[in-house]
Chain A
């Protein structure tokens, strides 16, 4: 099955700086790569996703890049704000067995 590795496990950045979270996956057949944000005590919520036929996707301050050859994808958050503090999960899906998640990154925005 799919295996997703996510780094770092904790990331602390100054407010206004950029944050980058990286993930690698093992199954070359995977074709859908979402990112979820989970605030304390809440369910994960989709913030952005990318499919294998696209190399980059942006939505305001958030962007995701995908390198299929290297089997890695990254989340980029620019101009970070206090409300960006949360746990972020990457995931990958190829076959019919659903999404495989990374272990999560705790993003801390320092004022």
Chain B
């Protein structure tokens, strides 16, 4: 089954404790991205990657890092989480054929 898988789905952490949200897709898509969703603000792109070893900042990259060492994986790293990073995070990949964006199930992160 074609899917985007992200983990963990839920996480409560404390300020300053580094964490990584993993993302993996099995559709061989070159393009992957991370979004955060906040009430009233919609979906805002954090980082995206057009291929292995190629990453670029989206609209709200501050406080986040990403890496793309393999085509299927695109982890999101919060080196020193802060409460304003409490949000619902979605990983996604894009089909080069159709342009459709496929979302993971989401990761709800709370930073205390």
Chain A interface (Cβ within 8 Å of chain B)?
1, 6, 9, 32, 34, 42-46, 49, 89, 91, 93, 96-104
Contact = CB atoms under 8 A, between A and B. Distances in A.
B90 A104 contact: no
Contacts, number: 52
Interface in B59-112: 59, 90, 94, 99-101, 103-106
Interface residues of B, number: 23
B99 A32 contact: yes
Nearest to A43: B103
8 contacts: A9-B40, A34-B99, A42-B105, A49-B99, A93-B99, A96-B50, A98-B58, A101-B44
A98 B54 CA distance: 14
